Amino acid sequence: MEIEHAAVLGAGTMGSGIAAHLANAGLPVVLLDIVPGAAKAAVERMRKADPPPLMSPEAAKRITAGDLPTDLPRVGDADWLVEAVIERLDAKQALYAKLETVRKPGSVVSSNTSTIPLAHLIDGRSAAFAADFLITHFFNPPRFMRLLEVVAGPSTRADALAAVSDFADRRLGKGVVRCKDTPGFIANRIGTFWIQSAINAALDLGLTVEEADAIAGRPMGIPKTGVFGLLDLVGLDVMPHVTASMLATLPADDPYCVQSRDWPLLTRLIADGYTGRKGKGGFYRLAKRDDGSKVKEALNLTTGSYSPAERPRMEAVEAGKAGLRALAEHPDKGGRFARRVLVSTLGYAAALVPEICDDIAGVDQAMRLGYNWRDGPFEMIDRVGADWLAEQICADGGTVPPVLERAAGRRFYEVADGALMALAPDGARAPVVRPAGVLLLSDVKRRGPPVKRNGSASLWDIGDGVLCFEFTSKMNALDLEILTLFRETIELIGAPDNAWRALVVYNEGDNFSVGANLGLALFAANVAAWDQIETLVAEGQTVFQALRRAPFPVVGAPSGMALGGGCEILLHCDAIQAHAESYIGLVEAGVGVVPAWGGCRSLLARHAATAGTPGGIPFGPMPPVAKAFETISLAKVGKSAAEARALGFLRAGDGITMNRDRLLADAKARALEMVAGYRPPEPVTLTLPGPSGRTALGLFVESFRLQGKTMPHDLVVADALAEVLTGGATDPTETVDEDALLALERQAFMRLIRTGATLDRVEHMLNTGKPLRN
């Protein structure tokens, strides 16, 4: 079956977020709520929300909002109806009774519940309804959290399950994990147990909020929010509801129930409106000083009072750099806290297989995607050692889970003949199977060494004559070694007797590339090594131009941030296949310089190519310049691949992949499509306005100055950028070639990098991670 129309019933935080993401996938969506006007209000809120649930303004237009009592017949065209109403069985069952009268035959109905068993949900419904029903548990926020837990009932049609799973994978970008119909499914069963365990250990061992989060965060491979920061993020009032549901559905001897405690302080905080970030604060809050400034405060877990948050210094954190086991074995209270949390949580996770899921890979995927853990629980067990964990469980008087006993002397994951193998519950080994159409660079790496490598980049053979260029520097920042390997790669693929036909630029880091290595640039500037800086700029221009003119197709495949030089690489690729969650922009103005690796030239040429076309900017020398100037001078960044397209960083023919795991395969396929008859693009010449255009742009910047929206150095940067984009001393009767524009970029960059104001901005960016603002 094909899913072409959708409906969401319930316009609360989850329902509206699910509707938004279905619209992001291109579907027309009907969003209904029982409260009159609530759905329309939800759509309006999402238009202005930050982070935005919607990837583009066009996505909002795909949502039709209405009221459940009067507009329910509108769902009659939906192929998939998602129920996200209040977590009460009676309310859900009453809605299902109404849906039976209006939905079309064969449409799939799913619930977003994570607490009510499927059998209870469909009790009293027809056999046809039961065959079309399943649970699809999204995580909040639906756009950004990649996990989708799917539960099918004994009567659920196989094709209905397959259709929703495939759509969620390919169109919504979800990692779909098949779960069993057990309380909390996978992620919340383990995740909320981990939260309870960490809270209990912090209270028993006398850790502060800050100390607990410092341990139960990055040292454990968990987001820096830790446990108390996570509760503030999701809402303190959510935890009691989840706990109550678990206690009502799990047997009394389940470790979840055994370790559950009544915590009067939490009850008091919620009653007083301290529900986390959405309320007055929570375990942390921002308080105003007498001078109007704000200070971050942390809650004292004993007294319930607040005081300025402190950065804890515990030896266990430093010891944890040697590994997870070193963290847990450290004798200070941080180490004792880590040991207690890890042993209880990992032991509990091991005891739940195969009760909650048939394979450990599914459990690990659920925790990585649902809670943003770097490693799933079984991957963490491999890090500490299955035998060590079993010893600790026995030392605490516990029972070693059967699956952990079968791992004695072994690892849960091993590589055999280049393939990743996982330990099954029965003790046998089975390959970790990827969905059709998924190609992971991590799997490629298991098969053998790279074709080439240096300290900042690697080159991998991904099959069918296609190579993959991977950045490996810190945050994938660009440096001379990356440029050197690009040169070698161009020569290698371009050689007449080679076996390779195309190149994909891709990596599996959190970010594609944050741009040039600012630390090296600042160091060189501080010792007045201007020649070295200019050599790096010139080398970048030369290499990126060589990439653009290479005799083979080059496809850029970004995910995460592609900023500054990272964006410039993409602008020199023949095509871009971007992950939907790509944040692309030329942000150099934020640190007081202009793009100098061809970014100005490339964006200007793209706008000029669309001038005068339907939906494009007006024809003439000035409109492309004005458009590029606005984007670069304001350091605009597309907050999605769709927004990046609107800004001109992606062209009409460039592709967008919703699922991160499918990005490399899609980029490879795009590269192979271009191989036959490939010819590199012709050099670009532009007609630019020259000094008169520079003056016009100066008036635009002056209006910002009069509004108090600029700093003095912004005017200097804007004028340098205007000179580049308008072609320097040219006029509209002449044409400007690529080399001339690159020379203008390089000259402007070198003038600006020598100024103290620019160096101050670079240092501020390095220290804070944020541009200096007015």
Measure the CA–CA gap between 384 and 257, rounded to whole angstroms: 26
- Kindly report the number of other CB atoms within 10 A of residue 43's CB atom: 22
Sheet holding 637-638, edge to edge: 560-563, 582-585, 637-638
Cα gap 403→408, rounded to integer Å: 9
Sequence-ordered alpha helix ranges (H) in 308-440: 315-319, 324-329, 333-351, 360-371, 377-384, 386-395, 402-405
Task: Tell me how far apart the terminal alpha carbons of the chain are, to the nearest angstrom.
Answer: 54
* pLDDT of 705: 83
Q: What is the DSSP letter of 219?
A: G
What pLDDT sits at residue 709?
A: 76
Counted residue by residue, the chain has a size of: 774
Q: What SS3 class is residue 626?
A: helix
Tokens of 17: 């977020």
Res 74: pLDDT? 97
Which single residue is written with the structure tokens 């670069």?
632
For residues 694 and 724, give the distance between their C-alpha atoms in angstroms, rounded to a whole number: 9
The C-alpha atoms of residue 574 and residue 674 are separated, in whole angstroms, by 9
- In sequence order, the 6+-apart residues with CB closer than 8 A to the CB of 721 are 589, 594, 600, 629, 632, 633, 748
Secondary structure of residue 480 in the 3-state scheme? helix
For residue 662, what are its two tokens?
């499918």
**Residue 197: its pLDDT value, please?**
97
**What is the per-residue burial (b if ≥16 Cβ within 10 Å, else e) of 499-537?**
ebbbbbbbbebebbbbbbbbebbbebbeeeeeebbbebb
Q: Residue 363 corresponds to which tokens in the numbers above?
A: 């459990």
Q: Which pLDDT belongs to residue 173?
A: 98
Q: Give the chain's radius of gyration (CA, Å).
A: 28
Instruction: Report DSSP letters for 512-543, one per residue.
Output: SB--B-HHHHHHHHHTT-HHHHHHHHHHHHHH
Residues whose CB is less than 8 angstroms from the CB of residue 137 and which lie 6 or more positions away in sequence, other chains included = 112, 113, 114, 148, 149, 150, 151, 179, 185
Mean pLDDT per segment of 10 residues, for the chain of length 774 residues?
96 96 98 97 95 96 96 97 95 97 97 92 96 97 97 97 98 98 96 97 97 96 95 92 91 96 94 93 92 92 95 94 96 97 98 96 98 97 98 97 96 96 94 95 97 97 98 94 97 92 97 90 84 94 97 98 97 98 96 96 94 81 94 96 97 97 98 97 94 93 82 92 96 94 97 90 82 68
Q: Which domains does the chain have, with CATH numbers?
A: 6-179 (3.40.50.720), 187-414 (1.10.1040.50), 442-587+637-675 (3.90.226.10), 589-633+682-774 (no CATH)
**Vertex 577 angle, CA 576 and 582, to 5°:** 95
Please state, as a whole number, how many other Cβ atoms lie within 10 Å of the Cβ of residue 180: 14
Q: What is the pLDDT of residue 773?
A: 66
